[in-house]
Amino acid sequence: MTAPSTTTPSTEEVQTLYDRLFTAYGPQRWWPGDGPFDVIVGAILTQNTNWTNVEKALETLRRTGVWSFAAIHGTQRDELAELIRSSGYFNQKARKLHGFAALLENEFHGELDQLLGLPMDELRARLLGIWGIGEETADDIVLYASGKPSFVIDTYTRRIVDRLGWRVDGDAYGDYQSLFVERLRPDTALFNEYHALLDHHAAEVCRPTPKCDGCCLLEICLTGRNTHHESS
């Protein structure tokens, strides 16, 4: 059997992927009504866990009055870790929250608007300078809290791109990000919706064992087409 070959997607193909997902699932309304505090804390807590566990931790923070970065800054690390225990990796996440709160307090006088108002590349660099904050979390914050167009890449996005048969020039986060950024207009609403749709699709359909039958991407997906040919 001939090995399936990957191709570099065109601008139209990257747009078509979005259009198909949006037609199938509609608007995802990610973090629509929450303020930047919820979004930033949620973005840090959601790494390596599901959103239900994050919600429990957010509720505990809210209930105990640790509901601002000033309050986080003034809470002992072990106490903070206990409050967010339900989100997993709670010692590391407490350290990250403390790192964010310290940056805000020490360099921006506690003014979140000042930090989030930095130019996109500068903001992203400042976030990446915080202990434990990686590119995905930084882009989540840039996109969903500051409203600037930084495209978020996660394992779900990588999985879909790889299965579609799209060629990526490397395996780094930035290689996958470039594939989208170089082909789309820098539009915050578009990047917001696109990321949410990819995550929804990977969670519900393009799962570790993909449900290709009836998938809205079947006609444009190398893996799906190959699977279909083999079984028909």
Binding site for ligand SF4 (CB under 6 A): 160, 163, 205-206, 210-212, 215, 217-218, 221, 223-224
Nearest-approach distance from CB 210 to ligand SF4, in angstroms: 4
Given the complex with ligand SF4, which of 188 and 226 has the nearer CB atom? 226
Nearest-approach distance from CB 149 to ligand SF4, in angstroms: 25
Structure tokens at 128: 């990446």
Nearest-approach distance from CB 8 to ligand SF4, in angstroms: 18
| Helix boundaries (H) for the chain | 11-25, 36-45, 51-63, 69-73, 77-83, 90-108, 112-116, 120-128, 135-140, 155-164, 173-181, 188-204, 222-231
Given the complex with ligand SF4, which of 123 and 160 has the nearer CB atom? 160
Query: Which one, of 25, 17, 61, 26, lies nearest residue 42 by Cα?
Result: 61
Given the complex with ligand SF4, which of 61 and 160 has the nearer CB atom? 160
Output the residue with the shortest Cβ distance to ligand SF4.
224
Nearest-approach distance from CB 206 to ligand SF4, in angstroms: 3
Given the complex with ligand SF4, which of 36 and 210 has the nearer CB atom? 210
Q: What angle do CA 116, 122, 127 make, to 5 degrees?
A: 65
Query: Which one, of 86, 20, 37, lies nearest residue 57 by Cα?
Result: 86
